[in-house]
Structure 1
Amino acid sequence: MKLSARNQLKGTIYSIDTGSVNDIVKIKLSSGDIISATITKQSVQELGLEVGRPAYAVIKASSVMIAVD
């Protein structure tokens, strides 16, 4: 599959925190950094996501905001 998003970060599924409607999937990158995404439970099931399985964090955004206190 090819995507227009340029920020495709390959890693391994580190954890899946199950919620009532959505799950939080954490992917550990080779750098040791962890990226998390909240996706529907149905998507987790359809993609067959499991801890230890390789996956990509695909980031597509028109803007990124940074804030400080």
Structure 2
Amino acid sequence: MKLNVSLSARNTLKGKVVDIKKGQTTSHIKIDIGNSQILTASITNEAVDELALKIGDDAWGIIKASDVIVAK
């Protein structure tokens, strides 16, 4: 089922899935968001299956965080 919803998250990055590494319970998804930038997300294997994610798919990285830590 697809939902047409609005999000409270303000950081949305569209890209293409370039890699999926499945572990025992969690997958690491790499999304190319352009300009040689890769966003990596850790999501459950169940979420990968429900979204039917595969390499080459268009996907959104949606970031909702209350804290951002910067180090140098």
TM-score with structure 1 setting the length: 0.92
CA RMSD after TM alignment: 0.9
**Structure 1 residue ranges, 4+ long, deviating more than 3 angstroms after superposition:** none
Instruction: Give the aligned partner of residue 34 of structure 2.
Output: 30
* 1:63 Cα offset (Å): 1.1
Give percent identity, aligned residues only.
41
Classify the secondary structure of the residue corresponding to 1:23.
strand
| Rounded Cα–Cα distance in structure 1 between residues aligned with 2:35 and 2:22 | 25
Pairwise CA distance, 1:32: 2.1
- Work out the number of aligned pairs and report it: 68
Counterpart of 1:47 (choices 40, 48, 51) is: 51
Q: 1:57 aligns with which of 61, 66, 69?
A: 61
* The 10-residue stretch of structure 1 (28-37 or 46-55) with the greater mean CA deviation from structure 2: 28-37
Residue 2 (structure 1) aligned with residue 13 (structure 2): no
Q: Take 1:3 and 1:38, find their aligned partners in 2: how far apart are those partners? A: 20
Please list every run of 5 or more consecutive structure 2 residues that lacks an aligned counterpart in the other structure: none
Give the 3-state SS of the residue equivalent to 1:56 in structure 2: strand
Alignment partners' CA distance in 1, 2:61 and 2:47: 14
- CA apart distance, 1:56: 0.3
Q: Flag structure 1 segments of 5+ consecutive residues without an equivalent.
A: none
TM-score, L = length of structure 2? 0.88
